[in-house]
C-alpha cells in the first residue's frame, strides 16, 4: 500500500508541477467561455442589414405599408420599386440595393412559397430570415386589411396557449436548466475520460519506451504500478476540476459582492436560478462518483493498451480505437437521453457501465427521483463499480505481460489470452 | 551460513517455449556469480523469477535461508535489467529518491545514501539535472547507483557494462568488487566472456532453458583443457622425430604449441626436450578461454530458439 502511495505521489507531482497543467487549467474555462460568448457574438456581428428592392406585380404592396414595418424593425430595409422595374433588375447594384425580390401577381388569399431573393452574393440565413420575416409582417398587414381585422382582433388572434413541462415530484425542476447542466456535465466527463485516459496510456508507454518498466517491477508489483498511475492521474484530473469549481465560486462571489455591474448581476441571477432549480449537492456528488468510476473504467483499459504497444503512437491509436469509440457512442446516447430523459435509450444507456458515466450525468439534473428513480441510480452505480473492478482486473493482467514485452504489436485476441493466462 | 540463493528444479514454460526447464543452482554468499548463456537461453526469465517478477511454474526459490517471498524480499535485491532506463524528464536526485523509496527506504535514509554515492561517483552537481541531459555513460552510472543504493544482499546485473566507456567500466567493475568484498552477492549475467573471466568466481552456463555447466572458473577451465602447452624456444621442434611424447600443433616465431599425448605428462615432455638438447625459454599450459568453452558448448544450437508447442 505504501508503495502505491509513493507511485501516486510521483505521478501526481510530476504532472501538477508541469507548466502545461497550469496553463490548461487556466485556459480551459476561458476557452469555454470564449466559445460560448464568442459564437453568439460572431453570429450577431456577421448579420448584415440588407437593402432589398421589392418589385411588386401583385399590387398589394404600398410604400406606406412597407415604411411602417421599416420603422418598426431596422434589421433590413425594403424599398418598393416604382416605375422601370427592368432597369432595377438589370442594375440593382448601382441603384444601391443588395438584391431584389419579385412579387408575382398573386392572390392575397393564396400567398406564395416560391419567391426568390436574387442577388449575386450568398447571404447567411440570419440576414435573409430578417427580410423574410419583415415581408411576412407586411403580408399580414395586407391580409388583415382585406379581412377587416382591426388591432384589437389582431391581438386576440395572436394569443396562444403555453405548455411548460413540470414534474410534480420535483416542484423546482426546470427542463431548460436541467438540459444545460446535463450537457455540461456529460461533456465534461467525456473530455476528462478522453484526455486523462490517453494521459494514462501515454504515461504507460513512456515507462515502456524509457525502459524503466522492468526496473520498477523489480520493486513493486505491476498491478500496483498500474493502479498508482491511474490513481495519480485521477487525482490530477480531480485537482483540475476543483480548481474550476473554485474559479466559478470566486466569479460568483465577486459578482455578488460587486452588485451593480450589468453582466455580473445577470450571471449571479442566472446562477441563483440554477441553484434553486436543481439539487446541487446531489449533482456534485454524482458527478464526482461518475467521473471517478468512469475514469477507472476507461483509464485502466487505456493503460492496458499503453502497456501492450511499443513506441509507435499509431499502434496505440489503432488499438485504442474501440475504446475511444465507446466514449463517442456514449456522447451520441447522451444527446438522445437529453431530449428524452425517460426513454429507453436514456434508461439503458445510463445503466450499462460503459456509457453510464456520461448518459447518467446528463439525466440526473432532470431530477432524482423524479426523472431518475432511485433504483436506477443505485443499479447504475453498482454496475459501474462492478464494471471498473472488472476492467481494472483485466487491464492488470494485460499490463503484467505487456509491460515487459518488446517487439510486435499484439492483437486484441492475444491481449485477451494474456488476461486469462496463469502468472 | 546458508547460501544466499538456492534454486531447486525451477521451471517456467511459456505458450511456445520452455524458457526455463528444470534448473537448480546455488549461489554462495559473497560470490560474484556469472550467469552465462546465448541470447534466448532463458537467462532473463530465470532472473525475473529470482526478482519476483515472474512466478515459477514449478520448483522452489530459497532466498537467504527461507522460502522466497516476492513482496518483502525484493527490498533485499537490487536488479539492473538489460532493458533498462530512467524517466527522461525527471530530475536525477528525485529519481534516485523515488527508486530508493520504492525499495522501502525512508526519505532520510535514502537521502544519506544517495549523497554518499553521488559523492563517490562525483555526481553531486547533477542533482537538479534531468536524465535527458545526461550522456549515456552518465545515465548508466546513475542506473548502477539506483540499483545498489538500498544495500541489497543480492545484486543482479544484466549486461552492466553495455554502453560504458573503459573508464566508467573500470569504475563500475571496482565497485562490483567492493560490494562483493563487503558481503553482497552479485549475479552477473552477460555473454561477454572476457569480463566473466576477469570478474566471476563461479559460473553457470544455460542453454535452451537447461543448465549445461556449473563450477568455478578454475574448475571449468581444467575440465575443458585439451593438454595444450606453449613452449618458447629459438630452435625448431618440427625436426624432432620418433617417439615424441607430444604432437606439434603449430609454431610461430619462437613459440610452439604442442598437445601432450595420452598417458604422458608435462615432466615427460620437458625431460624429452632436454634430452634432445632443446634450449627452453618458457613452458606454459594453455587453458581454454571461457569464450572457447562457451562456443564449443553452445555451437550447433541455433542462436534463436525454435518455437515449440508446449503442453503446460
Per-residue model confidence (pLDDT) at position B301: 61
The last residue of one of the domains, among B170, B201, B222, is: B222
pLDDT band at residue B304 using 50, 70 and 90 as cut-offs? very low
Q: Are A189 and A360 in contact (CB under 8 A)?
A: no
Taking contacts as CB-CB distances below 8 angstroms, the residues of chain B near A404 are 48, 53
Residues B190 and B241 in one domain: no
Q: Which residue has the cell 519476483?
A: B52
Residue of B nearest to A223 (CA): B53
Q: Is B293 within the bounds of a domain?
A: no
**Closest partner CB to B74 (pick from A210, A214, A219):** A219
Shortest Cα–Cα distance, B124 to chain A (Å): 22
Per-residue model confidence (pLDDT) at position A356: 92
CB pairs under 8 A between A and B: 62
Residues B235 and B89 in one domain: no
Over residues B223-279, the pLDDT tens digits come to 888 888 888 888 877 777 767 888 888 888 888 888 888 888 888 888 888 888 888
Residues B58 and B130 in one domain: yes
pLDDT band at residue B46 using 50, 70 and 90 as cut-offs? very high
- What distance in Å separates the CA atoms of residue B257 and residue B230, rounded to the nearest whole number? 4
Q: What's the topology of domain A47-158?
A: D-Maltodextrin-Binding Protein; domain 2 (3.40.190)
- The residues, any chain, with a CB within 8 Å of residue A141's CB and separated by 6 or more, are A65, A68, A69
Q: Is B136 within the bounds of a domain?
A: yes
Q: Is B304 within the bounds of a domain?
A: no
Q: Is B99–A206 a contact, with Cβ atoms under 8 angstroms apart?
A: no
Residues B256 and B213 in one domain: no
Q: Is B74 within the bounds of a domain?
A: yes
Quote the cell numbers at residue B267: 615432466
Residues B142 and B215 in one domain: yes
Quote the cell numbers at residue A59: 399590387
Residues B170 and B245 in one domain: no
Q: What is the mean pLDDT of residues B68-97?
A: 89
- What distance in Å separates the CA atoms of residue A95 and residue A183, rounded to the nearest whole number? 49
Angle at B161 between CA B155 and CA B167, to 5 degrees: 115
Query: Looking at per-residue confidence, does B66 or B310 come out higher?
Result: B66
Over residues A274-329, the pLDDT tens digits come to 777 777 888 888 998 999 999 999 999 999 998 888 877 888 888 889 999 999 99
Task: List phi, psi (to 5°) of B70.
Answer: -55, -35
DSSP H helices in A76-124: 85-90
Q: Is B258 within the bounds of a domain?
A: yes
The domain tally of chain B equals 2
Q: Is B84–A215 a contact, with Cβ atoms under 8 angstroms apart?
A: yes
In chain B, % of residues over pLDDT 90: 26
Q: Is B77–A218 a contact, with Cβ atoms under 8 angstroms apart?
A: yes
Q: Is B294 within the bounds of a domain?
A: no
Per-residue model confidence (pLDDT) at position A236: 93
Per-residue model confidence (pLDDT) at position B312: 38
Paired sense of beta strands A50-56 and B185-190, if any: unpaired
pLDDT band at residue B139 using 50, 70 and 90 as cut-offs? confident
**Closest partner CB to B101 (pick from A6, A207, A215):** A6
Shortest Cα–Cα distance, A312 to chain B (Å): 18
**Closest partner CB to A214 (pick from B81, B89, B103):** B81
Please list, residue by residue across B261-279, b when 16 or more beta carbons sit within 10 angstroms of its beta carbon and e when fewer do.
eeeeeeeebbebbeeeebe
Residues B155 and B281 in one domain: no
Count Cβ atoms below 10 Å from residue B83 Cβ, excluding itself. 15
Count Cβ atoms below 10 Å from residue A329 Cβ, excluding itself. 14
The last residue of one of the domains, among B222, B243, B267, is: B222
Per-residue model confidence (pLDDT) at position A7: 93
Residues B113 and B211 in one domain: yes
Nearest to A267 by CA among A250, A254, A249, A255: A255
- What distance in Å separates the CA atoms of residue B288 and residue B295, rounded to the nearest whole number? 11
DSSP string computed for A286-323: HHHHHHHHHHHHHHHHHHHHHHHS-S-HHHHHHHHHHH
Domain of B91, CATH number, reads 3.40.50.300
Residues B28 and B132 in one domain: yes
* pLDDT under 70: residue ranges of chain A: 1, 40, 43-47, 165-174, 258-268, 407, 421-423
Provide the β-strand partners of residue B227: none
**Closest partner CB to B86 (pick from A14, A210, A220):** A210
- What distance in Å separates the CA atoms of residue A46 and residue A271, rounded to the nearest whole number? 29
Q: Are A7 and A225 in contact (CB under 8 A)?
A: yes
Is the backbone peptide bond immediately before A369 cis, with ω within 30 degrees of 0? Answer: yes
Domain residues for the domain of B241 are 226-286
Shortest Cα–Cα distance, A208 to chain B (Å): 9
- What distance in Å separates the CA atoms of residue A294 and residue A375, rounded to the nearest whole number? 19
Q: Is B90–A14 a contact, with Cβ atoms under 8 angstroms apart?
A: yes
| In chain A, where the domains are located | 47-158, 173-419
Q: Is the pLDDT confidence value at B311 over 50?
A: no
Q: Are B153 and B4 in contact (CB under 8 A)?
A: yes
Residues B263 and B133 in one domain: no
Q: Is B305 within the bounds of a domain?
A: no
Q: Are A101 and A132 in contact (CB under 8 A)?
A: no
Shortest Cα–Cα distance, A300 to chain B (Å): 20
Enumerate chain B positions whose Cβ falls within 8 A of a Cβ in A.
Answer: 15, 48, 51-55, 71, 74-75, 77, 79-81, 83-90, 98-99, 101-104, 143, 146
**Closest partner CB to A219 (pick from B55, B86, B103):** B103
Q: Is B180 within the bounds of a domain?
A: yes
* Mean pLDDT rounded to a whole number for chain B: 86
Count Cβ atoms below 10 Å from residue A411 Cβ, excluding itself. 11
Shortest Cα–Cα distance, A391 to chain B (Å): 22
Q: Is B53–A218 a contact, with Cβ atoms under 8 angstroms apart?
A: yes
Residue of A nearest to B56 (CA): A423
Residues B12 and B28 in one domain: yes
Q: Which residue has the cell 410534480?
A: A168
Chosen for mutation from A1, A7, A214 (greatest number of chain B CBs closer than 10 Å) is A214
Chosen for mutation from B69, B76, B85, B312 (greatest number of chain A CBs closer than 10 Å) is B85
Residues B253 and B202 in one domain: no
Amino acid at each position: 500500500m505504501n508503495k502505491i502511495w509513493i507511485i501516486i505521489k510521483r505521478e501526481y507531482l510530476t504532472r501538477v508541477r508541469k507548466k502545461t497543467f497550469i496553463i490548461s487549467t487556466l485556459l480551459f474555462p476561458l476557452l469555454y467561455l470564449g466559445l460560448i460568448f464568442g459564437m453568439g457574438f460572431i453570429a450577431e456581428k456577421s448579420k448584415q442589414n440588407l437593402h432589398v428592392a421589392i418589385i411588386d406585380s401583385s399590387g398589394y404592396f404600398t410604400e406606406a405599408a412597407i415604411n411602417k414595418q421599416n420603422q418598426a424593425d431596422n434589421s433590413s430595409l425594403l424599398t418598393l420599386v416604382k416605375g422601370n422595374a427592368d432597369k432595377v433588375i438589370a442594375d440593382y447594384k448601382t441603384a444601391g440595393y443588395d438584391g431584389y425580390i419579385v412579387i408575382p401577381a398573386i392572390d392575397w388569399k393564396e400567398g406564395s412559397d416560391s419567391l426568390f431573393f436574387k442577388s449575386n452574393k450568398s447571404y447567411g440565413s440570419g440576414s435573409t430570415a430578417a427580410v423574410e420575416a419583415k415581408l411576412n409582417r407586411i403580408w399580414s398587414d395586407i391580409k388583415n386589411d382585406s379581412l377587416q381585422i382591426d388591432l384589437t382582433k389582431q391581438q386576440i388572434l395572436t394569443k396562444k396557449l403555453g405548455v411548460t413541462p413540470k414534474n410534480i415530484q420535483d416542484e423546482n425542476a426546470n427542463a431548460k436548466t436541467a438540459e444545460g447542466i446535463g450537457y455540461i456535465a456529460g461533456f465534461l466527463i467525456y473530455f476528462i475520460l478522453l484526455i486523462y485516459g490517453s494521459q494514462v496510456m501515454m504515461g504507460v508507454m513512456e515507462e515502456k519506451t524509457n525502459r524503466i518498466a522492468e526496473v520498477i517491477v523489480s520493486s513493486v508489483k505491476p498491478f500496483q504500478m498500474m493502479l498508482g498511475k491511474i490513481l495519480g492521474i485521477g487525482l490530477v484530473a480531480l485537482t483540475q476540476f476543483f480548481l474550476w469549481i473554485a474559479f466559478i465560486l470566486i466569479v460568483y462571489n465577486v459578482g455578488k459582492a460587486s452588485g451593480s455591474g450589468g453582466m455580473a448581476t445577470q450571471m449571479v441571477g442566472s446562477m441563483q436560478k440554477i441553484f434553486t432549480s436543481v439539487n446541487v449537492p446531489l449533482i456534485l456528488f454524482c458527478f464526482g462518483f461518475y467521473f471517478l468510476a468512469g475514469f477507472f473504467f476507461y483509464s485502466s483499459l487505456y493503460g492496458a493498451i499503453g502497456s501492450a504497444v511499443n513506441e509507435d503512437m499509431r499502434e496505440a491509436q489503432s488499438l485504442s480505437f474501440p475504446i475511444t469509440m465507446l466514449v463517442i457512442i456514449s456522447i451520441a446516447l447522451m444527446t438522445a437521453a437529453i431530449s428524452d430523459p425517460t426513454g429507453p435509450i436514456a434508461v439503458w444507456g445510463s445503466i450499462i457501465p460503459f456509457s453510464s458515466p456520461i448518459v447518467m450525468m446528463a439525466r440526473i439534473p432532470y431530477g432524482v427521483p423524479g426523472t431518475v428513480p432511485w433504483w436506477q441510480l443505485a443499479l447504475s452505480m453498482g454496475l459501474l463499480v462492478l464494471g471498473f473492478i472488472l476492467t481494472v482486473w483485466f487491464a492488470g493482467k494485460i499490463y503484467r505481460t505487456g509491460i515487459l514485452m518488446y517487439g510486435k504489436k499484439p492483437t486484441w485476441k492475444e491481449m485477451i489470452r494474456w488476461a486469462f493466462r496463469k502468472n | 551460513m546458508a547460501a544466499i540463493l538456492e534454486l531447486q528444479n525451477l521451471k517456467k514454460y511459456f505458450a511456445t517455449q520452455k524458457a526455463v526447464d528444470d534448473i537448480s543452482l546455488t549461489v554462495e554468499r559473497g560470490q560474484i556469480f556469472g550467469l552465462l548463456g546465448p541470447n534466448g537461453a532463458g537467462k532473463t526469465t530465470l532472473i525475473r523469477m529470482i526478482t519476483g517478477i515472474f512466478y515459477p511454474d514449478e520448483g522452489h526459490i530459497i532466498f537467504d535461508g527461507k522460502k522466497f517471498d516476492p513482496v518483502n524480499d525484493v527490498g533485499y535485491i537490487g536488479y539492473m535489467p538489460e532493458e533498462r532506463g530512467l524517466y527522461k524528464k525527471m530530475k536525477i536526485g528525485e529519481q534516485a529518491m523515488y527508486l530508493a523509496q520504492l525499495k522501502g527506504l525512508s526519505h532520510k535514509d535514502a537521502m544519506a545514501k544517495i549523497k554518499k554515492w553521488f559523492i563517490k561517483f562525483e555526481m553531486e552537481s547533477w542533482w537538479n539535472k534531468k536524465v535527458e541531459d545526461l550522456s549515456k555513460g552518465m545515465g548508466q552510472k546513475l542506473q548502477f547507483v539506483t540499483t545498489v543504493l538500498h544495500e541489497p544482499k543480492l545484486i543482479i546485473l544484466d549486461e552492466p557494462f553495455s554502453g560504458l566507456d573503459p573508464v566508467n567500466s573500470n569504475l563500475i567493475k571496482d565497485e562490483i568488487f567492493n560490494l562483493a568484498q563487503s558481503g553482497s552477492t552479485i549475479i552477473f549475467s552477460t555473454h561477454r566472456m572476457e569480463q566473466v573471466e576477469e570478474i566471476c568466481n563461479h559460473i553457470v552456463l544455460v542453454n535452451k532453458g537447461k543448465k549445461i555447466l556449473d563450477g568455478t572458473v578454475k574448475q571449468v577451465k581444467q575440465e575443458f583443457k585439451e593438454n595444450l602447452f606453449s613452449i618458447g624456444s629459438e630452435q625448431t621442434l618440427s625436426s624432432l622425430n620418433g617417439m615424441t611424447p607430444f604432437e606439434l600443433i603449430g609454431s610461430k616465431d619462437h613459440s610452439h604449441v604442442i598437445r601432450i599425448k595420452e598417458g604422458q605428462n608435462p615432466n615427460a615432455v620437458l625431460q624429452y626436450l632436454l634430452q634432445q638438447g632443446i634450449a627452453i625459454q618458457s613452458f606454459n599450459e594453455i587453458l581454454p578461454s571461457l569464450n572457447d568453452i562457451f562456443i564449443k558448448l553452445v555451437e550447433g544450437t541455433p542462436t534463436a530458439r525454435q518455437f515449440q508447442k508446449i503442453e503446460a
